[in-house]
Structure 1
């Protein structure tokens, strides 16, 4: 009955039995056989000596290039370290020169140089009123300066520095008098010692 239904379906679509694909043939069964130890040697070739030498040469070239790169990088690291050391030394030298410049541009150093070339502090000023022609104040000539003005504080950074105007002379006791430094044990009974402020 199913055969009749199949024929009817084929007749309705207009396809005959000849248009249907044929069933594939089953291939003949392959037989496995054992291979003798000497029989497979002809099929498999031994690697040639040339290929082995090329592989070893490539490996050697890679090692040599790696060593050259490593030496080059380490040489660059030594140069970088030397440049950083030089940069640090230049920084210290710059700081020392900045300190020297600050000390020789201080008011105490300028006053000591002015005294060395004969400049004096001005005396009492007098003022002239132009409209009346009247002189206010008593003019007095300036005198020699034995010590810097009282407004200058001591500057120990320039003590012993040579003067710019007289290189054979040096700054002696710049500014005001030296401040006495107390020595000895400090008592902590009343708390920490501190300066008196106003």
Structure 2
């Protein structure tokens, strides 16, 4: 509650003179107020802060760009290495295939015996007839097999490096004798030239 509410009300018919609000006294200024200089330190800090933010954004942008190029290069290397790994896996599968092993054994003069002989490991005894094979094998391991193996068609035999499983002379595909990998795709997929 305010004090004006508790003040006595004027009697009816009696008017009190209106009160004028009090005004502050005006005093003449003897000299002008000194103009404040802006603080130089605040301005320098603001400019340096803005420059630091811009520099940080540029550094982050450059590092991001470098990382994207590094990722692209690593992706290309990964594709190249996966191709090489697939080529090596195919070579291992071909070299361990029964056709390649039989062709190398045949080139060494080994034949398939009709009466196999086994060695019993428990006592070291030979089980079966042990006689030298004086006949020719009916299986031509070096010649064309029933099912051709594309992985070893051009692979030279270990016993005769100048011949393959099909008897074709070996053509070396690269300078060091290793298999060549497909060319890396740098400009997208290769397309034929049309006229």
For the superposition of Structure 1 and Structure 2, which TM-score range results when normalised by the shorter chain? Answer: 0.5 to 0.7
Mind listing any 5+ residue stretches in structure 1 that lack a counterpart?
A: 1-20, 34-40, 128-134, 175-198
| Distance change in 2, residues 1:29/1:90 (3 Å) | farther
Determine helix, strand or coil for the equivalent of 1:155: coil
CA contact (8 A) 1:120 1:145 kept: no
Report 1 or 2 for greater relative contact order, CA contacts < 8 Å, sequence distance ≥ 6: 2
Structure 1 length normalisation: TM-score? Answer: 0.53
| Distance change in 2, residues 1:154/1:46 (3 Å) | same
> Are 1:125 and 2:119 an aligned pair?
no
Matches within 5 A, 1:43-54: 45=36, 47-54=38-45
CA contact (8 A) 1:107 1:152 kept: no
| Corresponding residue number in structure 1 for 2:152 | 158
| Corresponding residue number in structure 1 for 2:94 | 103
Higher helix fraction (1 or 2): 1
CA contact (8 A) 1:120 1:144 kept: yes
| Distance change in 2, residues 1:173/1:22 (3 Å) | closer
| Distance change in 2, residues 1:100/1:151 (3 Å) | closer
Determine helix, strand or coil for the equivalent of 1:156: coil
Aligned-residue CA RMSD (Å): 4.0
- 1:101 deviates by 1.1
| Corresponding residue number in structure 2 for 1:92 | 83
- Give me the whole-angstrom Cα distance separating, in 1, the residues matched to 2:139 and 2:73: 52
How far does the alpha carbon of each residue in 1:8-46 deviate from its partner, in whole angstroms, 9 at most, with x for none?
Answer: xxxxxxxxxxxxx993799x946489xxxxxxx848745
CA contact (8 A) 2:107 2:159 kept: yes
- Give me the whole-angstrom Cα distance separating, in 1, the residues matched to 2:152 and 2:144: 18
| Corresponding residue number in structure 2 for 1:60 | 51
| Distance change in 2, residues 1:104/1:95 (3 Å) | same
CA contact (8 A) 1:115 1:145 kept: no
Mind listing any 5+ residue stretches in structure 2 that lack a counterpart?
A: 8-19, 26-31, 118-127, 169-195
- Give me the whole-angstrom Cα distance separating, in 1, the residues matched to 2:106 and 2:46: 88
| Distance change in 2, residues 1:70/1:31 (3 Å) | farther
